[in-house]
Structure 1
Amino acid sequence: MLAPHSSTAPFCDVLLRELKAEARGAALARRAGCDPALGARLAERVLTEAPPPAGAVVAGFWPMGQEIDIRPLLLALAERGHAIALPVTPKRGLPLAFRRWRPGEALAPGPMGTRQPASGEALRPDWLLVPLLAFDRAGRRLGYGGGYYDRTLPGLPEATAIGCGYAAQELPEVPAGPEDWRLDAVATEAGVIRFDREAQAAG
């Protein structure tokens, strides 16, 4: 897991919020033209190029709206024997919790349109599939603004975090502050992009 980072240019809080809001608008516009069914291609890419290690507990997410559909990947990983967890959204300001989910099990409505296990065993993931609105080649991720993954990932220092999105969601640079955490890799329908931990820590 990569340490929190600042952007290449330091921003004051107000400017950073404005830059993120602008980037979110651009990212949503890019995503609007994408087909969630490209998730099947993303699954093929991950299984071929960067599968989780045997026995890893995998945390995924249930796609919303135009998010790329990673359910084909979750089903394939479950068939390979991985325990699958889905996030449970807590009160704002807290990190995510994760509960086991098995294919076919019903999900309950969660906050902000999410779907989550209503009950089940709490799991600590080794390998996380992370939703995003945008990413860049430095491993920076732009989320929806709730900060849930930025609070969750520091508590999982040995886990691998892989952002999931469309290739069209890549930006030249994602605005980021000191509390934003980088990803280890990003998976899209075009392939898996890995990031250099040592170079990022130095930067």
Structure 2
Amino acid sequence: MTGTAPDPTEAKSRARQAALLARDLAHAAGQGAAADHLRAAIGSETGKILAGYMPMRNEIDPLPAMAAHQGPVCVPVIVGRGQPLRFREWTPDARMVRGTFGALVPAEGAWLEPDLLIVPLVAFDARGFRLGYGGGFYDRTLEILRARKPVVAIGFAFGAQELPEIPVEPVDQPLDGIVTERGVTWFR
């Protein structure tokens, strides 16, 4: 009897479904002190370029921490399938338009290269790996940014989105930390 290695794509799909259900339930309960923990985690990074994200569906909301950041803030813009993300400058009063996949993006503004990223996710594990929606945008982007300079990638999620283990492929980029309503955990 010969065994076959588990299919990481199928395993990620199953994990994604379970995590999205957990996120639905956590979102309904509210995000508690998560925004305060996120502000504290990025508070020492004054002056650095911060990339946040515009929350979609029932993602945890980073906007209060983004607005409080003492330095330039930008949000991701999907320029095409299989491409790394680009980041456009954002302010709380920026005029926003619908981008690819429905995410809001600034209608205009400078293109920035972040030093610190708040990364959305579907699930994470205690090793610092994340599961996204399956497009590979953040993995591709983090690989390129990390080849250029030191960057810090902080996942932002509800604690209920933690799974025992995320199926990992060679292209998957780990997080440096995770922030939930429970607090901050650093992996590296």
Given the two structures, how large is their TM-score scaled by the length of structure 2?
A: 0.91
Report the counterpart of residue 128 of structure 1 in structure 2: 117
- Size of the aligned set, in residue pairs, is 182
Q: Which amino acid aligns with 2:116?
A: W
Report the counterpart of residue 72 of structure 1 in structure 2: 64
Any stretches of 5+ residues in structure 2 without a counterpart? none
For residues 46 and 140 of structure 1, the distance between their equivalents in structure 2, rounded to whole angstroms, comes to 18
Report the counterpart of residue 53 of structure 2 in structure 1: 61
Task: Return closer, same or farther for 1:107/1:40 CA change in 2, 3 Å cut-off.
Answer: farther
Report the counterpart of residue 167 of structure 2 in structure 1: 175
Moved more, 112-121 or 160-169: 112-121
1:36–1:69: 8 Å Cα contact kept in structure 2? no
2:154 counterpart of 1:194: no
Q: 1:182-203 deviations in whole A, cap 9, x for unaligned?
A: 000011111011103xxxxxxx
Report the counterpart of residue 147 of structure 1 in structure 2: 136
1:39–1:72: 8 Å Cα contact kept in structure 2? no
For residues 134 and 60 of structure 1, the distance between their equivalents in structure 2, rounded to whole angstroms, comes to 17
Structural mapping, 1:16-35, within 5 Å: 16-35=8-27
Task: Return closer, same or farther for 1:114/1:50 CA change in 2, 3 Å cut-off.
Answer: closer
Tell me the CA shift for residue 46 of structure 1.
2.4
Report the counterpart of residue 162 of structure 1 in structure 2: 154
Report the secondary structure of 1:161's partner residue: strand
Tell me the CA shift for residue 37 of structure 1.
8.3
2:24–2:58: 8 Å Cα contact kept in structure 1? yes
Tell me the CA shift for residue 51 of structure 1.
2.6
Any stretches of 5+ residues in structure 1 without a counterpart? 1-9, 197-203
Task: Return closer, same or farther for 1:149/1:30 CA change in 2, 3 Å cut-off.
Answer: same
Q: 1:147-170 deviations in whole A, cap 9, x for unaligned?
A: 000100012111100001100000
For residues 89 and 161 of structure 2, the distance between their equivalents in structure 1, rounded to whole angstroms, comes to 29
Q: 1:26-83 deviations in whole A, cap 9, x for unaligned?
A: 0011011123784562121123355342211100000001100111111111xxx211
Identity of aligned residues (%): 43
Given the two structures, how large is their TM-score scaled by the length of structure 1?
A: 0.84
2:76 counterpart of 1:84: no
Structure possessing the higher relative contact order (Cα contacts under 8 Å, 6 or more residues apart): 1
1:37–1:69: 8 Å Cα contact kept in structure 2? no
2:102 to 110, 113, 118: 113
Report the secondary structure of 1:33's partner residue: helix
Q: Which amino acid aligns with 2:113?
A: R
1:75–1:103: 8 Å Cα contact kept in structure 2? yes
